[in-house]
Amino acid sequence: MLRWLIGGGREPQGSAEKSSVQTIGEEQIQNPYTELLVLKGHQDIVRFLVQIDDCRFASAGDDGIVFLWNAQTGEKLYELHGHTHKITAIAPFSSSDVTEEKTDFIITASADRTVIVWDCASGRQVQKVSCFHSTVKCLTVLQRLNVWLSGGSDLCVWNQNLDLLCKTSHLTDAGISTLVELPKNCVAAAVGKELIIFRLSASNNGSEVWNILEVKRLVDHQDNISSLISVNGSYIGELIVWDALDWTKQASECNFWDSSVHPDVQTEIKLSQSPHESSVQHLTSDDECVFAAVGKGIYVYNLQMKRVIACQRTAHDSSVLHIEKLPNRQLISCSEDGSVRIWELREKQQLPAEPVPTGFFNMWGFGRANKQANQAAKKMQENTPVYFLDLVGDLIGHSSAVQMFLYFGELGLATCSADHLIILWKDGERESSLRSLTLFQKLAQNGDLQLKL
């Protein structure tokens, strides 16, 4: 898509209509990011960004190197070499020892079948485990229990000293693709099309004996599970599983209040859209809603209403890879097309007389009771506010797919991309006043500043 050609029209609006991707002009009043810093260092696709603390983050990617960055200054803090293959998972892990001093670690897993624990303060490798039979594909830290789990072809539980506490038997060759922590010491692991729920139990005699038990297998998915989240807040214990490809969404409330699990599948929403080669790429949630990146689009599913309340079918020119909800009702998404977009979930002010825009929910078919559900949805729609996602800004900087981003609140936004770069997007106004502050601090420090009032 070429929105603007040299010497061409004044505004790119005309051509934008055709591509049906919502575009925003060059004037973006609400877009706070007016300054950027390019962080160079990686030599291959940067796939992961994890936040370590308020002002540090780590990046990792296919070059097997982990970089630690200062999110404020963009300064490269450490360059961690240790892995020989690409990094497949990364997780931050902070442990407080006896002296209550918090130490930050990061755990990285790589395709070289090793897991390394790094000390973020010194940039040194703390420990390295290389006893895996297969690549560890996911890492989850259970901060509460002070253990972390690695998921590959089997699930292992480790404590912070890297002692293997227990492990499951060999699950599949494909291995665990995602892990998520559930209440009551449970974890859900996505293994292929199955979702397996494990329970972790420490033996009660105080000795460090851990057990991991498989408690439930959920087999409703038609295809591989690619993303898994646990919704907290008011819906404790609820697990929502979005499936890929077959466009089913399962909202399965798994109550773990007692050991018997009732996997009552209450709704299953099927997307009736013709199946492109798109799938649910990423999920995120807040107290009310689940936000799903499906193909090129973004969908907002309200948990209370149990329906999709807003969607943007083609939010990007190509697949959305990562989305995240900001505290201020904004949503950020990044995509393979190299752009990052900022959306705001707004309530649509609708005149009652105005006909309901058909087509907005038409694409949603309800799997089992298609007709009734559809009608029900329409009914509901009449007395509930309608939401829509409004594009408030876009960030164009990467020349290749933006793999992931990390929102640092005031400090800005870090994006990583397949073009080997990490970009720190910052609020120019804020940075400018910060620099002024630094300037006058430096003046005072040098003794140059003596105001005579």
Contact residues toward other proteins (CB under 8 A) are 2-7, 9-11, 25-29, 31, 34-40, 73-75, 393, 396-399, 421, 423, 428, 431-433, 435-440, 442-443, 446-453
Which residue lies nearer to other proteins by CB, 22 or 232? Answer: 22
Q: How far is the CB of 437 from other proteins (least distance, A)?
A: 6
Which one, 12 or 365, has the nearer CB to other proteins? 12
Tokens of 259: 């050991």
Tokens of 120: 């973020």
* Closer CB to other proteins, 70 or 314, in the complex: 70
Measured from the CB atom, the residue of 266 and 446 that comes closer to other proteins is 446
**Closest CB 397 distance from other proteins, rounded Å:** 5
Length of the chain: 453
Q: 444 — phi, psi (to 5°)?
A: -65, -40
Nearest distance from residue 388's CB to other proteins, in Å? 22
Least separation in angstroms between residue 125's CB and other proteins is 26
Shortest distance, position 18 Cβ to other proteins, whole Å:
15
**Which residue number, 73 or 372, has a Cβ lying nearer to other proteins?**
73
For other proteins, which is the closer residue by CB, 175 or 412? 412
Q: How far apart are CA 331 and CA 129, in angstroms?
A: 38
Q: How near is the Cβ of 394 to other proteins at its closest, in Å? A: 9
Nearer to other proteins, 33 or 105 (CB): 33
In angstroms, what is the minimal distance from the CB of 447 to other proteins? 6
